[in-house]
Amino acid sequence: MSEPIELLARWIDDVGGTGRIDAIAMALATADASARPSARIVLLRGLDDRGLRFFTSYESRKGSDLAENPRAAAVLYWPRVERQVRIEGDVSKLAEEESDEYFNARPRGHRLAAWASEQSEPLEAYALLEERFAHFEQRFEGMEVPRPHSWGGYLLVPSRMEFWQGRPNRMHERTLYTRKGNGWEATLLQP
């Protein structure tokens, strides 16, 4: 892996690894075509030389934002160890095969929920969502739950990654990695 991606993987391992929700929860900020920003927490579900992977409904607000403006910023923050990583870059949909592979590895209830929920759409009553879940539970009884075409993965390809390590007296250590061709340029920033 490339230098900042390897460092991010090590920092995630330092706080418990990819099996811990608090280690992989990241704030993801998107903006629509009018540059109206929106942020939410998603789970980092993959990391390699290509970038960071997360999964969601393509029809959610973040999916709509990314269709209009395929760029995002993300932040992972671990207060216990006084570390954060900021990431900025372009976003694209993952190949269907990669989305299928991840979807099929999810618990059955999570797969059914992807069918039941029209993410980000208004809901009159929670009971209606439960009814939709029960409907899809019955529809796919005894079968594998296929991935809905409205659900899949995204790849955030970093162009900038900033690593922040808290230090005493607010003398924090900040290193900015900027993509240069096939490599990275590192710059120390003042706190």
Q: What is the CATH number of the domain that holds 184?
A: 2.30.110.10
Could you give the number of structural domains in the chain?
1
Query: pLDDT tens track of the chain, all 191 residues?
Result: 569 999 999 999 999 999 999 999 999 999 999 999 999 999 999 999 999 999 999 999 999 999 999 999 999 999 999 999 999 999 999 999 999 999 999 999 999 999 999 988 999 999 999 999 999 999 999 999 999 999 999 999 999 999 999 999 999 999 999 999 989 999 999 99
Do the domain assignments include residue 81? yes
Do the domain assignments include residue 130? no
Do the domain assignments include residue 47? yes
Do the domain assignments include residue 141? no
Do the domain assignments include residue 143? no
Do the domain assignments include residue 24? yes
Do the domain assignments include residue 140? no
Residue 172 phi/psi, 5° resolution? -65, 150
Q: Whole domain around residue 180: which residue ranges?
A: 3-106+150-189
170 annotated active-site: yes
Residue 124 phi/psi, 5° resolution? -65, -45
Residues 40, 45, 80, 170: which is the catalytic one? 170
